[in-house]
Amino acid sequence: MNVKVTARKRDAPLKVKPEPVRGAGKMKNSGEIHSISSGSSAEEIAEFFGWDNDGLGGREALNSATYYACMKIRCSAFAKLPIKIKQYQGRGSINIRNSDLNELLQTRPNRWMSAYDLKFATEFQRIEYGDSFWYMDVDGRGKLRGIYPLDSQKMQIYIDDKGILGGVKNAVYYVYSGGGEEMIFTEEEICHFKSFSKNGIVGTPLKKYLFDCIDSELYSGKLLKERYEKGLQDPIIVQYIGELNQEKEKKIQKKFELMGGAKQAGLVIPIPPDFKVEQLETRLVNNQFFELQGLNARNIANAFGVKSFQLNDLERSTYSNIETQNIAFYTDTLLDVMSIYEQEIDWKILTTDQRKDGWYFKINVDAILRADSKTRAEQHQIEIASGTLTPAEAREQEDRPYIPGTDVLIYGNGASVPLDQLGKQYEDNAAPKGGDDNE
C-alpha cells in the first residue's frame, strides 16, 4: 500500500491520502483479506457474495420487526451496565474512585454524548457492521481527554506487512474517511471491538448469516400489508360469456380491482349478468403462514442470543422460569460481550504501570441480575450472618450512606456479634478455675 503521510502534531492523528483500495490490506503469507469494508450494507453483501440482488431489495434489516427488537434489547442491555475500575490487591479487589477514567466511562466520554449513548452506539455498530471503533483523544502527556465513537462504515483496516509506515512489520493501521479528509490511526489509538471475527482482525456483521431469515420476515410483512390493503379478500376468477380481447380483458380486470380493497370491504358490489365470479380460498392458516413467521422470529432471536420472553413470546414461559431465562441471557449472551469490551479497554486504555499495579476494568452486571427488594434483603442477611459481607458493603450495594462502625464482619450465632469478638461472651461468664477460698 502506497501512502503519503503528512506532518502532524504529537497528539493528532496522522493524515494520509491512500490509494483507492477497498477492504483490508495484506497479511503476511496469507494473501488478501477478502472484505469489502469493515461495515457493509445488505446490497454490498449480496453483490460481494454473488447472491441474488433481489434479496432485501434495498430495504434495511432494521425494517424487520424481530431484528429491530433484538437489536434494541442487545444494545440497551449492554448500555445500562456501568464500567468500573478495580484494583486487585492480593487478597481481593477494591474500586478505584479517584481516577479521571471514571468520569469518562461512567458519566461523559465526550462533550456530545453520555456514557449510555457511547455504549449503545458502540454495541449497535459492532452487531450491525461487524466492527465498532473508539478513538482515544490523548494529550501530549499521555492523559486520556475523551473517547469518541467512529462510524464503522467509514473505517478501513490495513496491515503493513512490509513495515513501510512505522518500521514495524505486520502493524495494524486504521484509515478513517471523515470530514473531507482521510486519517490514519495506529492500533494504540483505536479501541476495536469485533463481532464474530474469523481472522482476529476484521469482524463479521450478524445480518450476513441471517440474510434469508430477515428476507423472509420482510416479505411476510409485505404480504400482510398487501392483504390488508385489499381488505383481506382472496383472489377472484371472473368468467365472461362473450368475445374477449386483450383491451377488454384489461378493462374487466381494472373494474374488479376497483371493486375490491379495504374501502370496499363489507359493501354490496353489483355483478353484471354476463359475468360469473368465483373466489379462490387461500387461507394463511392452511399454508402454515404464522407458524413459519414465528420460526423466522425464533431463528433471528437465537442468533442474537435473545430469549423468547424478552420478545413477549410467553407461550412456553412461566413466572418461575423467566428469572432463570434472564440469568441464561446473561451467561450465554452478555458474558461473551463483556469479555470483548473488558479485554480491549484493559489493553488500550490502561497504561502498563496501571496493569502491573493490578488495575482492570469490570462491567457491573448488578443492573441485570438485580432481584426484587425482598430477595435482596434476604441475600444480604445470609451473607452478613455468614461473615461474607459487612453491613457497610450491603448498604453500599443498596446506594445507602455509610454508617460508622458497620464496616466490620459479623457472624450470627444465636445473636450477631462482630467477628473479632466471637466467643468473648462465653469467656466473660466462665467460672474461675480452681477451688474456692475455703479450701
Read off the DSSP letter of residue 334.
I
Using CA atoms, how far residue 143 sits from 98, 256, 290, 354, in Å, is 15, 74, 56, 13
Burial per residue of 188-206, b for 16 or more beta-carbon CB atoms within 10 angstroms, e otherwise: ebbbbbbbeeeeebbbbbb
pLDDT digits (tens, 9 = 90+) for 39-69: 555 455 445 444 444 344 445 676 777 888 9
- Mean pLDDT, residues 210-224: 69
- Taking the alpha carbons at both ends of the chain, their separation in whole angstroms is 104
The confidence score (pLDDT) of residue 49 equals: 45
C-alpha cell at 180: 473531507
pLDDT, residue 16, reads 41
Q: Say if residues 210 and 300 touch (Cβ distance below 8 Å).
A: yes
In DSSP terms, 211 is beta-bridged to none
Tell me the per-residue pLDDT of 91-136, one tens digit each, with 9 for 90 and over. 788 889 889 999 999 999 999 999 999 999 999 999 999 999 999 9
Average pLDDT of every residue of the chain: 74
- d(Cα 418, Cα 392) in Å, to the nearest integer? 13
Domain residue ranges of the chain, discontinuous segments joined by + = 1-231+283-370, 372-429
The pLDDT, as a whole number, for residue 54 is: 39
Are the CB atoms for 217 and 301 separated by under 8 Å? no
Distance of alpha carbon 31 from alpha carbon 408, whole angstroms:
62
The segment with the largest mean pLDDT, out of 140-144, 217-221, 259-263, 342-346, is: 342-346
Name the strand (E) or helix (H) holding 310: none
**What's the CA gap between 301 and 310, in Å, rounded?**
10
Radius of gyration in angstroms for the set of CA atoms belonging to the chain, rounded to a whole number: 32
Q: Has residue 75 got a pLDDT over 90?
A: yes
All three cell numbers of 235, joined, read 383472489
Q: pLDDT per residue over 24-43, tens digit each?
A: 333 333 334 444 454 555 45
